[in-house]
Amino acid sequence: MSRCGVTPPAVVATILALTGAAVTTTAHAQPFTYLPPGDLIADSGEGRVDDTVYAPGMRFPVESAPAYANSQVYMHGGMYGPGGGQCDSANYSYPWRDNYCEIRSWDMPLCPAGTGHQGQDIRPATCDNHTHPAVATTDGTITNVGNYSVYLTAADGTRYDYLHMSNVLVTTGEEVVRGQPLGMVSNAFGGTPTTIHLHFNIRQNVDPHGMVYVPPYLSLVHAYAALIDTPPSGVLDGVDCTVITGWAYDADEPDSPVDVVLGFAAAGVVDEHVVTADLYRDDLCDAIGSCDHGLAVAAPLSLFDGEERTVHAAVDYETLGSTVELDASPMTLQCPPVELSGVRRPVDTDTFEAWSFSAFWDQADAPTDDVEALPVTADWPEEPEVWTNEDGDGWWLVDGGHTRTIASPAVARAWRLDLTGAEEHSDDEIQALAEGPPLRDRPLLVIDGEDERFLLDDPLPATSSSSSGAGGALGGVPGDDADCGCRLVGLPRGGAAGAGLWLLLSALAWRRRQRCPRRARRAR
């Protein structure tokens, strides 16, 4: 599956897609949902539409979920609310709603009106007073403790304000650590009680305004998402002209493979394709407690043109409706044109689809003269037919009157062949067919001057029962090295990356199986 289009490169690494759509989490019965920033309750003021996460990576300021960000003044039990009491169930439900810049008299240079509410109101899990701890969002210093407020200042100068606190546990000048309890969420507000909630501010230096209250809403959304579940993780290990490798893992679904979006960016265009991280890797078993999350895909042949591209790797994070970029992403890919060799075998549209070939991954843009210099032989088989022996320790592609060794599961994967569905045949049945050259390590398709598509292949030897048709004399007998499948083809000019590919596949615990030479197999 692919997702292709003209997209700014930053989209691949975008942290947040503000859809507001419901997404299911495993932490609570209700799905966590939130409305976009700046979407205030009608007639409560003009919000600030701002996609900036001003405090990325901060800890959520209430110790445990669920919690509900919404207005205290314009919701049930508030001065301008629709009636009812503060403990109304509507106040304790999703979606979250921004109330930064809500109508107030405080000077607020980042608010459209120039005045407004300085932060975000957050209700804890229940309408119980002095029950729910508020905690430090980060390591830092307590720089002020008031009658019902605590200010925490981080090393970078960002100040986090906690208002309407009771049972305060810290003192001015105290050093605290991320997650440390600071006090209890309450309705304290001097001599006039408010509703039970935490009013939370973030104060930062913003040019040209200086130290101002910045929108905390999206920082809270991200912090809450991290509290209620674990974001997907992974690493982009390497990108070169042979293979793209890495791993991806979702701790909330540890037994499920993870789809990775690979984005290839050049000249302001990102070509996105989805691949699956589902390969066995020994090193992941202990590291993340699950082995089958490796990623290894051959570099896309359509990009073998000498142009430099930035390769991003990201995974969907459903809780935020966003993507999370893998560690070490992005990397750079620059591949020279492929080297053409062998013979051309016609591939029509039906055959192309039956084999699940891809113009992006499998087809190179080669010079017409180079393509047409190669001889044309019999059509490529209309659909794949894979055989295995009774021991299940070898696989062959049936190609006309020939069997062709599939050297390893890695080769099968490159050709999108399902080895688990291979037809079982006896050794006699397998040996009754002529032996052709091993299947190349990956398909390589090209287009000629008349827009006809061909697959490049090693020539098949003639069989005793055929002449020029499928499975007949197809352009000569392959050289000695073809008998053992020891040669990689379709590599970029000037490159010798094939050996690196096999070393990598061995590291991923893939076993290369061959039946070469045939006589040794018969003698066992």
Residues 293 and 170: their CA atoms lie apart, in Å, by: 44
The pLDDT value recorded for residue 231 is: 87
The residues near 153 (Cβ < 8 Å, ≥ 6 apart) are 140, 141, 142, 143, 159, 160
**Per the structure block, which two tokens stand in for 64?**
């445990």
CA torsion through residues 371, 374, 379, 383, sign: negative
Whether 520 has a pLDDT exceeding 50, the answer reads no
- Mean pLDDT on 367-374: 97
pLDDT tens for 96-121 read: 999 999 999 999 999 999 999 999 99
What pLDDT does residue 464 have? 59
Alpha carbons 335 and 339: distance in angstroms, whole number: 12
**CA–CA gap between residue 321 and residue 306 (Å, rounded):** 35
Evaluate if residue 473 carries a pLDDT over 90.
Answer: no
Residue 35, pLDDT above cutoff 50: yes
Provide the token pair at 433. 């067919």
Beta carbons of 68 and 96 less than 8 angstroms apart? yes
Residue extents of the structural domains in the chain: 233-334, 343-522
Quick one: pLDDT at residue 286?
A: 92
Structure tokens at 41: 């309750």
pLDDT band at 322 (very low <50, low <70, confident <90, very high): confident
Q: What amino acid occupies position 474? A: L
CA-to-CA distance for 475 and 462, rounded, in angstroms?
9
**What single DSSP character describes residue 508?**
T
Q: Are 2 and 360 in contact (CB under 8 A)?
A: yes
The pTM of the whole model exceeds 0.75: no
Q: Are strands 434-435 and 402-405 parallel, antiparallel or unpaired?
A: parallel
For residue 332, count other CB atoms closer than 10 A to its CB.
10
**Structure confidence at residue 429 as a pLDDT band (50, 70, 90):** very high
CA 325 to mean position of chain CA atoms? 6
CATH number of 233-334: 2.60.40
Helix (H) or strand (E) holding 500: helix 498-507
| Cα gap 244→260, rounded to integer Å | 12
The three-class DSSP label of residue 432 is helix
462 pLDDT tier (thresholds 50, 70, 90): confident
Q: Are 457 and 380 in contact (CB under 8 A)?
A: yes
Strands 175-176 and 140-145: antiparallel
**Strand pairing partners for 115?**
107
Q: What is the enclosing helix (H) or strand (E) of 349? A: helix 349-354
59 pLDDT band, cuts 50/70/90, is very high
Are 101 and 113 within 8 A, CB to CB? yes
Rounded to whole angstroms, how far apart are CA atoms 388 and 408?
12
